[in-house]
Amino acid sequence: MQSIQFAVLLGVVIILFLANGLISIKKYSQQVSLYDQRVSQSYQNPSTVFFNLYRKPSPLLFMAEGGDKYRPYGYTLKPKGVLDALPSNPLNFKLPDIPELDWSFIIKIILSLYVILLGYASISGEKEQGTLGLVLSNSIGRIKLLVAKYLSILLTVVVPLVTGLVFSLIIIGIFNPKILTFNVLSRVLVMLFLTLVYLSAFALLSLMISSLIHRSSLVLLVLLALWVLFAVIIPNASDVLSQRFSKIPSEYQMAKREEPMIKQQVWARIDEIREKAGRGEIKTEEELKKETDRAFEEGQEGINSHYKNYENAMKQRAATAQNMSRISPTALFQYASENISQTGVKSEEHFIEDINNYADIYDNYILKKVGKLVGTSSWQFSSTIEVNGKSVNIESPNPVEYQGDKSDFPHFVESQTSLARSLRDALFDIAGLIVWNLILASLAFSAFLRADVR
Amino acid sequence: MIWTIVKREMLEYLKSAKFLIGLAITLVLITFSTIININDFKQRHQDYLNAQQEMKSDSFRVQVYRPPQVLSILIQGYDRKLGNRIELTYLNIPAQPSGYMGQLTSQHHRYLAGFSAVDFAFVVRVVLSLMVIFLAYNAISEEKTHGTLKLMLANRLPRDQLLLGKFIGGLFVVMGSLVISTIVSLLIILFNPAISLASSDWARILGLLGISALYLICFYTLSLFISVVVSRPSIALLVLLQLWIFLIIIYPNLSVLAAENLYNLPSEQVIEKRKETAFQPYNEEFTRVTRAFHDAVEKGDVPNELALRNVELWSIKAEKNYEVDREFGNCLSHQMNLAQTLSILSPAVLYDQAENRLARTGMAEFERFMDGVYRHWQKLVEWQKLRRIDIEAYRKTKLLDFAYPSETTAYGFVTTMPQWVILFLFSLILFTLAYTAFLRKDVR
């Protein structure tokens, strides 16, 4: 434990965690007030045409923000389960894109680097000074020595880590004690465990390289190269790589197809109906309306699914990018901590599941009140068709607003993700981290056992 | 004498493992990132051209597309993140471009928002700066621990020459790696027939190279200084790495966070209120005229004056809204400027600003584009008014294609002057510090 090194580490970590506590508490209360405002507004006058559902901000944003600021703050639910994403909370797009200062950032970038700085000289440094041979000439086994080194590195990091966590929690507790429920605290404990597993991987990595290479400056260089690779390059570059592997048309190409699709899927069918009416196969106005309504609705569903497919493809691409970055322990740690904090992609998926469940209730309610279920779409079409020598105005159908009493409007309840479920979501990532640890541990031991200690 | 030291230093560096590892990583990253970014740029450029060809404007809806910048291959900046299409009508002028799908549906890029780019700027800012630290951290302290410093100075070698020789020798190596990586990425670009660089682009690339060199010199002099002051090489390296992570990651991020929290932005409701009050004087007339216009259209007989006033009022409404939006945009700029001022001591931030400016992928270019859009919208409104005044003249004239004046290269360089000067001052100060510290140093 070099004393200056340790003091710097302690200082930096405490400052960062304090900043984290202050910033996240402010952000969380802002988000909660926005959320409350929006929810009360949407229930004031609920509609049977569309209904806005908002995502409750996770109290654990301070642990892992998980790209929450880019996500929509809710969805607009339309009849027949059609979902449109609302925008994200306002964001200054002119500011440089910086990573959120959450626990996972402090741990995955700063603390992992400090683990390397603490551990790179543990074997090679002793060897350079000639003390390694002396230590081993006593009755200390090599394995014992390595374990002791490993534990000392981890302990040296754990002290500032725990101090920082406590400071951050104290600040949060002072300003908003309601956040610190049993659920949150148990998740904090899981996070602490995850952190230990993650940092232990870097400690083992340092020990391994340190026993393989004799010059400690070279050890540090190799370790830093690996750190840049794992913590910076792989998580960032995986997106551009996934772009190469997934063949998704660009947004422009998708937008271009919209017009021909409308022509094909909507107007072609309307033309057919027009011909039918001309031949006298459709006799009455009601019959015509029924035919055209169906044509319009199905056409619009087709276009909707065109957009939906694109969105799913983009989601798939993002998932590929994430999966590719999972080679790096840093990415594994990031995704696991997002799951534990109920942020990130998985929590979005759970939210959409909840909405889909609610969509059935909403549709039933509309059926009960209005009597029929009509889908909405962003497109409006109208034209005229002649039936029996009379020209009839046809229009794409629209949902009807129920004018009567809506006090029995069904409430949307977001399901609580239990800790067990979060752990299940994070299982793969946690397992990946443990595998990294096992591999690195065996490599470190075999490298040290064969090392020439003179 | 000084050249003997320069030569010796260069050879020492060139055969060291740290140099080889650093150069290898740099070259691999540069090659991959350039190839990937070229493909990305080609796609965006093709889309831009196709959009202009295929998604044409009509007399009511005018489409404006934002061209991707060719230098975004090297410096991504904001170029990929900002939208590329704006739809103008005399009823509305959006404050921000959207994706090709339009305002409401273009949200798909959010899935990829968290990942950032790996480009030339990233390689210089992170990888090469780290390599520079590794090259120079033990320039003096290693000689001292080995005892060679004393030996050297026992000869008739002045101290200043020794330090200068070491400085120049290392500088050649650092500049060499920078130039090699630049040449590699430029070769890849040149061998791509789809991409053509204008002569002004070459001037800008030279500027990019220059500011990168200055940035690396900053870190080089810093390492030299620490190496003189701290006697043990391992401690010097630890100090430098901590300074590096502070200057590149912690300090810039904290200043952005501070700016976000110190400078509060007006909320959406406030903006809506402002828009309402701005249009207040016209409100009454607006309701009257639009109703009259609506009735006249129903009847099928619209007097020209009424139609003209209708367009005028709608465009005033759009303009007032736009002015409020622009004011809000200024608030965003203020916040950004505050963040930049707070982080002025970080070479990484200065470097990024200058690079974005020179590559035309920063906010300045975006504002320039948006000003062009506003002027284009004014022309559109005039044209729409002409339709109500003189329909014949309206039929004869056509709305010109959208274009906005490009920034001259000289102006681009002038605006990055502060960054050049500050980075140069940093290097100068650090070198002077290293120099004075070395003159007073105990070399035994």
DSSP codes joined into one string, A257-279: HHHHHHIIIIIHHHHHHHHHHHH
Distance separating alpha carbons of residues A286 and A289, to the nearest angstrom:
5
CA dihedral B102, B353, B117, A314 (to 10 degrees): -10
Contact B102 A255 (CB under 8 A): yes
Residue A368 lies in a domain: no
- Contacts with B227 from chain A: Cβ below 8 Å: none
Instruction: Search chain A and give the residue with CA nearest B112.
Output: A318
The per-residue pLDDT for B106 is 65
Strand blocks (E) in B43-93:
62-65, 85-88
Contact between B33 and A237 using a beta-carbon 8 Å cutoff: yes
ipTM surpasses cut 0.95: no
pLDDT of residue B420: 95
Res A192: pLDDT = 94
The Cα–Cα gap between B320 and B330 comes to 15
DSSP-assigned letter for residue A241:
H
**Chain B CB within 8 Å of residue A253 CB:** yes
A214 found inside a domain: yes
For chain A, count helices (H), then strands (E): 15, 5
CA distances from B412 to A184, B182, B404, B407 (A): 51, 20, 16, 7
Would A361 be classed as within a structural domain? no
Nearest to A251 among B100, B118, B253 (CB): B100
Which of A405, A396, A398 lies closest to A365, judged by CA?
A: A405
pLDDT by residue, tens only, chain B of 444 residues: 778 878 887 888 888 878 888 889 899 989 988 988 898 899 889 999 988 888 777 778 888 899 999 999 999 888 888 888 888 888 888 888 888 877 666 666 677 666 777 889 999 998 899 889 988 888 777 777 777 777 777 777 777 788 888 888 888 888 999 999 999 999 999 998 888 888 889 999 999 999 999 999 999 999 999 988 888 887 888 889 889 989 998 899 889 989 988 888 888 889 999 999 998 888 888 889 888 888 888 887 778 888 888 888 999 999 999 999 999 999 999 999 999 999 999 999 999 999 999 999 989 999 999 999 999 999 989 888 888 888 888 888 887 788 888 888 899 899 999 999 999 999 999 999 998 888 887 766
| A47-71 core/surface letters (b: 16 or more CB in 10 A; e: else) | ebebbbbbbebbbbbbbbbbbbbbb
Q: Does A241 touch chain B (CB under 8 A)?
A: yes
Q: Are A51 and A76 in contact (CB under 8 A)?
A: yes
Our CA-based measurement puts residue B111 at a distance from the nearest CA of chain A, in whole angstroms, of 6
Domain hosting A90: range is 3-247+326-352+428-450
Q: Hey, CA dihedral for A277, A283, A285, A289, is it positive or negative? A: negative
What's the pLDDT at B328? 92
CB-CB neighbors (< 8 A) of A209 in chain B: none
Q: Is A255 on the interface with B (CB under 8 A)?
A: yes
Please list every residue in chain B whose beta carbon sits closer than 8 Å to the beta carbon of residue A125: 234
User: Is A290 part of a structural domain of the chain?
Assistant: no
Residue A38 lies in a domain: yes
- Give the closest of B81, B100, B114 to A252, CB-based: B100
B36 by Cβ neighbours in 10 Å (0-12 / 13-18 / 19+) ranks as: buried
pLDDT for B101: 77
Q: Is residue A393 part of a domain?
A: no
Chain A contact set for B121 (CB, 8 A): none
**CB interface of A with B, residues 211-240, below 8 Å:** 216-218, 220-222, 224-225, 228, 232-233, 235-240
pLDDT at B143: 74
Does B104 contact A101 at a Cβ distance shorter than 8 Å?
A: no
Q: Which amino acid is at B300?
A: G
- Label the pairing between strands A51-54 and B85-88: unpaired
Q: How many CB pairs under 8 A join A and B?
A: 168
Q: Which residue, A203, A304, A314, A201, is CA-closest to A249?
A: A314
**Segment holding B318, helix H or strand E:** helix B304-342
Return per-residue pLDDT of chain A as tens, 454 residues: 556 778 888 888 999 999 999 888 888 998 999 999 999 988 888 888 888 999 998 888 889 888 888 888 899 888 888 888 888 888 888 888 888 888 999 999 889 998 998 888 887 777 777 777 777 777 777 888 889 889 999 998 999 999 999 999 999 999 888 888 899 999 999 999 999 999 999 999 999 998 888 888 888 888 988 998 898 888 887 877 777 777 777 888 888 887 777 777 778 888 888 888 878 777 777 888 888 888 888 887 887 888 888 888 888 888 888 888 899 999 999 999 999 998 888 888 899 999 999 999 998 998 888 878 777 766 677 788 877 777 778 877 778 888 888 888 888 888 888 889 999 989 999 999 999 999 999 999 898 888 776 6
Residues 310-339 of A with CB under 8 A from B: 310-311, 314-315, 317-318, 321
Shortest CA gap B426–chain A (Å)? 23
Nearest CB partner across the interface for B115, out of A113, A225, A239: A239
Q: Which residues, listed in sequence order, are joined to residue A386 by a DSSP beta bridge?
A: A391
d(CA B11, CA B6): 9
Alpha helices per DSSP H over B58-119: none
* Interchain pair B36, A26: CB under 8 A: no
Least CA distance to A3: which residue of chain B?
Answer: B235
Could you say which of A96, A239, A378 has the minimum Cβ distance to residue B256?
A96
pLDDT at residue number B349: 93
Look up residue B232 and give its DSSP letter: S
Length of chain A as a residue count: 454
What are the Cα distances from residue A161, in Å, to A103, A191, A211?
10, 12, 26
Nearest CA in chain A to B110: A70
Q: Is position A63 within any domain?
A: yes
- Identify whether A314 is part of a domain: no
Compare all CA atoms of chain B with the CA of A114 and give the residue at the minimum distance.
Answer: B242
For chain B, the residue count is: 444
Going from the C-alpha of A4 to that of each of A1, A10, A102, A109, A402, the distances in angstroms are: 9, 10, 26, 20, 71
Q: Which contacts of A316-319 are long-range, i.e. CB under 8 A and separated by 24 or more positions?
A: A316/A246, A317/A242, A317/A243, A317/A246, A317/A248, A317/B111, A317/B112, A318/A239, A318/A242, A318/A345, A318/B111, A318/B112, A319/A345
CB contact under 8 A, A217 and B107: no
Q: Which residues of B touch A109 (CB under 8 A)?
A: 249
**A54 Cβ neighbours under 8 A, 6+ residues apart:** A35, A38, A39, A42, A73, A74
Of residues A90, A98, A251, nearest to B99 (C-beta): A251
How far, in Å, CA of B130 to CA of B112, rounded? 28
- Looking at the 3D structure of chain A, how many domains does it have? 1
